[in-house]
Structure 1
Amino acid sequence: MATYAIGDIQGCYRELCQLLDQIGFGDQDQLWLTGDLVNRGPDSLYTLRFVRELGARAVTVLGNHDLHLLAVAHGQRAGSKDTLDEILHAPDRDELLHWLAQQPLLHRDRELGYAMVHAGIPPTWKLKHAERHAREVETVIRSEQAPAFYTAMYGNTPACWSDDLAGFDRLRLITNYLTRMRFCRADGTLELKTKTNADQPPVGYRAWFEHPGRKSPNKRLIFGHWASLEGHCATPNCFALDTGCVWGGSLTALRLQDGTRFAVPSSGYA
């Protein structure tokens, strides 16, 4: 039995199937998925159906594109580059969206010694804080407050954490940390516009995982979201897996038991 973590799929179902063939994914194996199962790629519906049908054999965290799908399904405006219509008009739409809304923002397996989140954990939080705050958002997404949350979810403020934050401001910042973050200051202040590689930060900022005072340096953390890293992260215990399949890169898997990586090239969608 092996556990494989796979980076952002974003509807690249063909490459997912090729990657699973390459690693010899078996009935006793498990998948961890870094989120962004959907959007931009051609086969978001097939991807959602496949992962859902794996049941307990697959664990996925919610990414920003997954949350966007849920928001659009609740009446928020779709983007001009979205490729979500096939899901939104599918006969099993409601079942798929209900399943997606039950997925966590952060997954942790103490036995394996890994945690997984879509974007990252701010340097001022310990892993236990990130777990607790993730649960706050998950509780709302699974409640009658979900439509109001999706209305309030979009935006870049507030940009820095305070325990005094409340309401949708608090939930929005938690969501931005866990699903959108790349660069921040040492105090956790976010900069959400820049999408360059980690060695080209905006002035006064660093990649979230590069801050020397980060509170969770000894926890092994798997993340996606940041395609321009191309899967490279020199920080110990941080494993970047988004290798930009939907942008013409590749789809990457990491075998957690021994750290072996596998990849298949993109069919080309950019």
Structure 2
Amino acid sequence: MATYIIGDIQGCCDELQQLLHLADFNPENDELWITGDLVARGPKSLQTLRFVKGLGDSAKVVLGNHDLNLLAIHQGVQDDREKDKLSNLLAAPDCDELLNWLRQQPLLIRHPQFNFVMIHAGIPPQWTIPQAEHYAKQVELELQADNYKELLTAIYDNQPNSWSNQLQGSARSRFIINALTRMRYCFLDGSLEFDHTSAPEQTDLSKLKPWFEFDSLDRSSEIIFGHWGSLLGKVNKSGIYGLDTACVWGNSLTMLRWQDKKRFSLACPIYCT
């Protein structure tokens, strides 16, 4: 059995299936771990959700910011933007079923055999990995509850951007979601920064630092993430793997086979215009 881990798919269902074929993925024996952002910007978000859901227990998914935004659109919290290409998904007869499945997915997941955890964006340098697992579970329970629209209504703000265990209610949940699904850079004091999306070599690092560059980061488990397409998978930190290689921007879809660390990559058309 092989464990494959793939970066942000974002509705690139054809490319996903081609890449799985290239790697000889067998859902009867293999696992597919997905770093989140299954939907948005690519042309086939509906088909992507149907395909991944259809893999059953062979697929392990964490939620990304685009996945949460889809849930918010469905609940009337956010507007459906044409550039996200979600209209046919939202109009599909199985939309409710698919999105109910989606909101049952975790924000952080640990492999039961291998020493790695997977999140969409990152782990704040103030948290240990066990703390990140605990905080993620708190929000997952909110998202899976009947009144989950209240959570979705409260997540659209950049504040608070500094962690305190004294945070309560929507402020606490919002920080946890922003850290796990939106973070790229932190200020030098470890507080979250959301404006910069470019790669570190194109960014003034006198005031900012990638979250994975902090010495305080807990490295007791290896960490796998997506979200940061401009990195193109270049992290250069032992035990930390970035797998978003900006497939919808005309770059590639990338998948890692954990057992031998072989990477599979497939060039993608430009879908974001």
TM-score by length of 2: 0.96
Give 1:162 shift.
Answer: 0.3
1:57 aligns with 2:52: no
- The answer to whether the 8 Å contact 2:185/2:193 transfers is yes
Structure 1 residues 67-89: Cα deviation after superposition (integer angstroms, max 9, x where no partner) = 00001111122234221111110
Q: Look up the SS of the partner of 2:5 in the other structure.
A: strand
User: Distance in 2 between the 1:21 and 1:219 partners?
Assistant: 30
User: What residue is the counterpart of 1:21 in the other structure?
Assistant: 21
1:169 aligns with 2:171: yes
Which has the higher mean CA deviation after the structures are superposed, 32-41 or 71-80?
Answer: 71-80
TM-score by length of 1: 0.97
User: What residue is the counterpart of 2:10 in the other structure?
Assistant: 10
Which has the higher mean CA deviation after the structures are superposed, 182-191 or 221-230?
Answer: 182-191
Give 1:268 shift.
Answer: 2.6
Q: Look up the SS of the partner of 1:225 in the other structure.
A: coil
Q: Look up the SS of the partner of 1:247 in the other structure.
A: coil
User: What residue is the counterpart of 2:85 in the other structure?
Assistant: 83
Q: Residue type of the partner of 1:233? A: V
Give 1:155 shift.
Answer: 0.9
User: Distance in 2 between the 1:166 and 1:201 partners?
Assistant: 33
1:213 aligns with 2:204: no
- The answer to whether the 8 Å contact 2:5/2:32 transfers is yes
Q: 1:135–1:187: structure 2 CA closer, same or farther, 3 Å change rule? A: farther
Give 1:3 shift.
Answer: 0.5
| Cα RMSD after superposing both structures | 1.1
Give 1:149 shift.
Answer: 1.0
- The answer to whether the 8 Å contact 1:120/1:208 transfers is yes
Q: Look up the SS of the partner of 1:81 in the other structure.
A: helix
Give 1:147 shift.
Answer: 0.8
Unaligned regions of 5+ residues in structure 2, if any?
A: none
Give 1:205 shift.
Answer: 1.5
User: Distance in 2 between the 1:213 and 1:171 partners?
Assistant: 23
For residues 50-199 of structure 1, the aligned pairs below 5 Å read 50-76=51-77, 77-199=79-201
User: Distance in 1 between the 2:101 and 2:143 partners?
Assistant: 12
User: Distance in 2 between the 1:82 and 1:203 partners?
Assistant: 34
Q: Residue type of the partner of 1:124? A: Q
Q: Residue type of the partner of 1:8? A: D
Q: Look up the SS of the partner of 2:83 in the other structure.
A: coil
- The answer to whether the 8 Å contact 2:188/2:207 transfers is no
How many pairs were matched up?
A: 269
Q: Look up the SS of the partner of 1:39 in the other structure.
A: coil
User: Distance in 2 between the 1:242 and 1:170 partners?
Assistant: 27
User: What residue is the counterpart of 1:262 in the other structure?
Assistant: 264
Moved over 3 A (4+): none
> Among the aligned pairs, what percent are the same residue?
49
- The answer to whether the 8 Å contact 2:80/2:87 transfers is no
- The answer to whether the 8 Å contact 2:249/2:269 transfers is no
